[in-house]
Structure 1
Amino acid sequence: MESLDIALAMMAAVGMSGALARMLPAGIPLPLIQIALGFVIAGVFEEGVELDPDVFFLLFLPPLLFLDGWRIPKEGLWREKGGIIQLSFGLVLLTVLGLGFILHWLIPAMPLAVAFAVAAIVSPTDPVAVSAITRKVPVPKRLMSVLEGESLFNDATGLVAFRTAVAAVVTGTFSISHAALSFIWVAAAGLATGVVVTWGLSRARTAVVRRVGEEPGAEVLLSLMVPFAAYFAAEYIGASGILAAVSAGVTMSYVELSGSSSALTRMHRQSTWNVVQFALNGTMFVLLGEQLPGIYTGAVEAIAETGHHNPLWLVVYALVICIVLGVFRFGWVYASVRFEGWRKRRRGIPFPEVGAGMMMVLTLGGVRGAITLAGVLTLPLVLNDGTPFPARDLAILLAATVIITSLVLASALMPPVVKMLRHQSSGIKREQQEYLAVQTAREAAERALQEEVDRLTSEFPDAREQDLLSSVAERLLADIRAVSAVSELGLPDEWLAHEKRVEQRMRLAVIDAARQSIFALARQHKISDELAREMVARLDMEEVRNRH
């Protein structure tokens, strides 16, 4: 019963955190509020929550990574692919190797494989935390594209490296060549599995809908099952379930552009996933706060094994990790920008100037968050021989300290640095894309309205009905909600109801045509998928309003 009380208290804390974030000063990030609330819960329920690492990993990571892949703007992803790949793979490798050796040197009681595991799990960045910090001072679109794209892939690469290091600790064996080959296999097979599973489920869903119709509740439930299906399928064949969840999300975003789902389904699905994202992210940070007292006690004992009995050494270790991460990140960003500029200018391709301010934003944008927390909490409790996992509590506390420190530094330094930047844009500006989408949708709507009028004209040849059709069509074209002339003639109620049905039919045809034109622009990469989702969401709301 107490476990249920703790679970309800944690859910209440997640709900309260949103209200507190609006009440407290804007500079306090939401994750820090949730950690503090978790710490309060730990003081009320002294026993705390006993976490099963495998269950925790499965419940939290696949849906969060799936949603990242689904919602990340693909236009910026492809445009900034060079910088994203360098940050997602090169910087992760540098962090794992460099920080791993430094940690082992700094804390001899921490085995080298455990040090590599800690370095790997603090390498992924969290765009959700960055967005929360910069909601009052928006980061330039180009930089946000790099940060979001980096987080999508370094989540996967960092977690794969983390699990490889943990497996080395648990089994006691490690081979660089075997690890490299294993990484290539699990990465390639995981990515392919996510694509295949998502496309397969999408085709099966389309076949069922054609036969029996669409049920929004079942559609939402299916979307919630996709990341878990991709994860289990990949794990079954020995591939990376994490990368499968990422590629499943990316594939789902392209499946969505087919426009095969109804407006009501899309609205229900979006609202459900918003709640899932908020609940999972919030629960993880509340859990961190709730686990901190016990983690701190275990970490102090681990510190004593190194010969240091003063808990302040925990602060020293955490500061060293944060400084090393910052130096590595800034150095890698600087070298990558200079190399990319040299490479493109050598080929005659224009390359915009990247100043120190933009490099600082990219450096501060390396905020650690939900993925680091979810991953480090999955460290096994015991090894294969039954002995406790070495320095587990210390590893978790160090990762938690890195998360908190990066959040505090970014919340303090990011807004003033961003304000000093001149916002730069690349590619087609959003305003131009929106104008193109609106014009295309309007033209498609007018054509659809004329086609619907022609069809209705053949169905209702009576002269009075012809006048009704003309009146309704004119109102729709002008988008004026005035009473039509025919409704002022004292006609019976059934005729007015008939007029309403005709208008509804025309409106729905116009909305559907506009929506399909926007989907087509997104499939042709003339507008971003992010803008397409926003505009389709507005049309979906209009359709639902007209149907009810």
Structure 2
Amino acid sequence: MEIVFTVLILLLAVALSGVIVRLLPFRLPLPLVQIALGALLDLPNPGLHVRFDPALFMLLFIPPLLFADGWRIPKREFFMARRAILMLALGLVFMTVLAIGYFVHWLAPEIPLPVAFALAAVLSPTDAVALTGIAGRDRIPPHLMHILEGEALMNDASGLVALKFAIAAALTGVFSLRDASISFVIIAAGGLAVGAAVAWLFSIVSARFLAVTPEGDPAPGVVMTLLIPFAAYLFAEHIGCSGILSAVSAGMTMNYASLANAGPVSARVRADSTWTMIEFVFNGMVFIMLGLQLPHIIGRALLDAHESGNAQMWRLVGYVAAVAVALYALRFAWVWLLRWFASRGAARHGIVNAVPGLRTVGIMTFAGVRGAVTLAGVLSVPEVLANGVDLQGRDVAIFIASGVILASLAIAVVALPLLLDGAKRGRDPRTVAEERLARKLAAQAAIRAVDGLHETTTAGLDEAAAAHATDVTARVMDVYRRRLATLTDDKQPADEARRAEAFEFRMKLAGMRAERAELLALRNSSKINDETLNKLMREVDLAETALTTRGRNKG
């Protein structure tokens, strides 16, 4: 029963974190609140300490989160920014492993070089979830956010693959750059292929055997979707490929497969709401688990250092500060060079003043926060060598990694709001223009479809029935004509149409809320049962959700 209570307490902590963020009089990032709650749970009273199994953590939490990110990341923007993403996710990771690995070994000679490389490998992945929680998705300029999300999707795999070779070198004392490079290509390509294959196979099976009629239950298909990231991860790991890249690839492939095999609305609504809840719960659990581990790791290391003398304790703190500064300096230099080379290329095409801005470079630098993947990676470093001797430097490496995680989160909380103050933000103008064009073309297509259906339907009707059909057609087409009127380039008619639409929006919203209140009153007076209430309330809820979502997107 203990594990049941532990899971329930963790779920309660996740829910409370969302409530606390809303109740606080000042803005505090959700990940920091969840880490703080986890740290509180690790206190002697209540004393909830969960044993952190890195392999189980990587299997249970990381695949679904990366799958969801791969599904939702804008594919066009990801492809357009592929050069910057690959240079950050591959080039910066391996530069970090080399530069920070040698730096750590020089800074702390008690850490052997292979263990220093392992530490540098786990410090290389960034955490886009923590970044979004700290800075907010809408505050970071869209083109930068796309790069940061793409980097976080890919560098988990490259960092953990580098960790794998560093651990092998630590255990065996043998390392070959040529073999490691070939293995990395095979592991990465194999993971991408496995994930794509699993997702396409599911899409075929889903379209053939799990096809849902408008009256059918979409739950089986949604549950099967939840299993895809785990299947992709396990299959890839079983054949020695990257499970993380497999989960990412499966998510991206499912995006295309779901669009190619468009199912009923009920399935899409159910799947979207299910994945939204899973992302919130799993992200929360990740940071609460992180908070549960950090006080124990850091406190034990500082206590041991204190017993050895204050000098040792301050030496450990100095290690964390020096490694954090080195990481930021390397990332700053790498990002600045990338933008400098990009500006040189733009200048050759006649674009003047294409120089790297320090604000942008600073945002990209401090956005490289570290998270739970770093902790899981460093805790997966084995405690003993093959001959049974303790692996030297492991505890110091774990302390440095934990300290850098906290330092990166704390620095980002302070630095990013300052850098983003005054930065260009909001939606990409090109995306806004594309949305406007899509709304116009969709409304025009709807008008043509309604008009065509009207002609075929009224062909054999008598005069009275044809007049009634014409009235119905006019009412339906009027919705789309008014929508087109709000999208016209003429300012005065568009403003009038928007005011009319805003008034209609308020009227519809008032009507729907009155419907809901009346349905509840009917149930409370036993004039309808719960089954009828739930059915009718769902209809009203979906209609209000569609109405408010469209109003919010337009605003």
Structure 1 residues 106 and 329: CA distance shift in structure 2, 3 A: same
Aligned mates of 1:403, 1:31 — CA distance in 2: 12
Match of 1:465 in 2: 465
Equivalence for 2:49: 48
For residue 253 of structure 2, the aligned residue among 248, 251, 254 is 251
> Which residue in 2 is equivalent to 1:4?
4
Residue 421 of structure 1 aligns to a residue whose secondary structure is coil
Query: Is the contact between residue 103 and residue 115 of structure 1 (CA under 8 Å) also seen in structure 2?
Result: yes
Alignment of 1:272 onto 2:280: no
Q: How does 1:300-319 map to 2 (within 5 A)?
A: 300=302, 310-319=312-321
Equivalent residue for 1:360, pick from 351, 359, 362: 362
Match of 1:51, SS? coil
Give 1:371's aligned residue: 373
List per-residue Cα deviations over 1:230-284 (Å, max 9, x = no partner): 1122122221111111111121222232251221111111121112112222112
Give the Cα separation in 2 of the matches to 1:275 and 1:386. Answer: 45
- 1:18 equivalent to 2:18? Answer yes
How far is the alpha carbon of 1:438 from its aligned partner? 0.2
Structure 1 residues 421, 198: closer, same or farther in 2, change over 3 A? same
Residue by residue over 1:41-62, the C-alpha shift from the partner in whole angstroms, topping out at 9 and shown as x without a partner, is 1112436212322212111111
Match of 2:289 in 1: 287
2:418 match:
416
Quote the residue 2:34 is aligned against.
Answer: 34
SS at 2:244 equivalent:
helix
Shift of 1:82: 2.2
> Alpha-carbon deviations, 1:90-128, whole Å to 9, x = none?
111111111111112222222222211211111111222
How many angstroms does 1:133 deviate by?
2.1
Separation in structure 1 between the aligned mates of residue 57 and residue 137 of structure 2, nearest angstrom = 33
Structure 2 letter corresponding to 1:325: L
In 2 relative to 1, CA 92–467 (structure 1 residues): closer, same or farther, beyond 3 Å? same
Residue in 1 that maps onto 2:235: 233
Q: Offset of 1:305 from its aligned partner?
A: 11
Query: Residue 351 and residue 270 in structure 1: after superposition, are their counterparts in 2 closer, same or farther (change >3 A)?
Result: farther
Query: One-letter code of the match for 1:12?
Result: L
Correspondence 1:24-173 to 2 at 5 A: 24-43=24-43, 44-46=45-47, 48-135=49-136, 138-173=139-174
Task: Please tell me the residue identity of whatever aligns with 2:228.
Answer: V
* Partner-residue secondary structure (3-state), 1:479: helix
1:329 deviation in Å? 0.7
Q: Deviations over 1:192-249 (max 9, x none)?
A: 1111111121112111145988641112112211111111221222211111111111
Q: Deviations over 1:62-98 (max 9, x none)?
A: 1121122111122322222222221111111111111
The Cα shift of 1:34 comes to 1.1
Quote how far apart the aligned CAs of 1:187 are.
Answer: 0.9
Partner of 1:181: 182
Contact 1:142/1:424 (<8 A) preserved: no
Query: Quick one: distance in 1 between partners of 2:315 and 2:4?
Result: 37
Instruction: Map residues 370-519 of structure 1 onto 2, 5 A cutoff.
Output: 370-380=372-382, 382-386=384-388, 390-423=392-425, 429-457=430-458, 461-479=461-479
What letter matches 2:283 in structure 1? N
Question: What SS does structure 1 have at the residue aligned with 2:11?
Answer: helix
Structure 1: how far apart are the matches of 2:67 and 2:387? 35
Hey, what's the Cα distance between the residues in 2 that align with 1:350 and 1:266?
Answer: 46
Q: State how far apart, in whole Å, the 1-side matches of 2:37 and 2:453 are.
A: 57
Distance 2:298 2:168 in 1: 25
1:150 CA displacement: 1.7
Tell me, yes or no, if the aligned pair for 1:191 and 1:244 is still in contact at 8 Å.
Answer: yes
Distance 1:343 1:315 in 2: 42
Partners of 1:295 and 1:28 lie apart in 2 by: 24
Contact 1:54–1:378 (Cα < 8 Å) also in 2: yes
Q: Which amino acid aligns with 1:280?
A: F
2:303, 2:176 → 1: CA distance?
A: 31
Q: Secondary structure at the match of 2:47?
A: coil
- Please say which of residues 336-345 and 161-170 is displaced more in the overlay: 161-170
In structure 2, what residue type is equivalent to 1:341? S
From the superposition, tell whether residues 382 and 471 of structure 1 become closer, same or farther in structure 2 (CA, over 3 Å): farther
Return 167-176 or 345-354, whichever deviates more: 345-354
User: 2: CA distance between counterparts of 1:21 and 1:366?
Assistant: 23
Higher deviation after alignment, 442-451 or 24-33: 24-33
Return the alpha-carbon distance in structure 2 between the equivalents of residues 358 and 220 of structure 1.
40
Question: Is the CA contact 2:111–2:394 (under 8 Å) kept in the aligned structure 1?
Answer: no
Structure 2 alignment gaps of length 5 or more = 481-541, 550-555
In 2: Cα distance, 1:186 partner to 1:305 partner: 44
Hey, what's the Cα distance between the residues in 2 that align with 1:263 and 1:350?
48
Matched residue of 2:175: which SS?
A: coil
Deviation, 1:439, is 0.8
| Structure 2 Cα separation of the partners of residues 137 and 244 of structure 1 | 29
Residue 487 of structure 2 corresponds to none
Deviation for aligned residue 1:300: 4.1
Other structure's SS at 2:293 match: helix
Cα distance, 1:367 vs structure 2: 1.5
**TM-fit CA distance, 1:432:** 0.7
* Cα RMSD for the two superposed structures: 3.0
User: 2:139–2:425: 8 Å Cα contact kept in structure 1?
Assistant: no
CA contact (8 A) 2:165 2:180 kept: yes
Q: Give the distance between the partners of 2:246 and 2:200, measured in 1 at CA.
A: 13
- The aligned amino acid for 1:443 is Q
Quick one: distance in 1 between partners of 2:243 and 2:102?
28
Contact map agreement 2:319 2:400 (CA 8 A) in 1: yes
Structure 1's 129 and 185: CA in aligned 2 closer, same or farther, altered over 3 A? same
Whether the aligned pair in 2 keeps the contact of 1:284 and 1:373 (CA below 8 Å) is: no
The alpha-carbon distance between structure 1 residues 273 and 414, as it changes in their structure 2 partners (threshold 3 A), is same
Q: Are the counterparts in 1 of residues 52 and 293 from structure 2 also a CA contact under 8 Å?
A: no
- In the superposition, relative to structure 1, how do residues 56 and 191 fare at CA in structure 2: closer, same or farther (>3 Å)? same
- For 2:69 and 2:153, locate their aligned partners in 1 and report how far apart those are by CA, in whole Å: 6
Identity of aligned residues (%): 40
Structure with the bigger RCO (C-alpha within 8 Å, sep 6+) is: 1
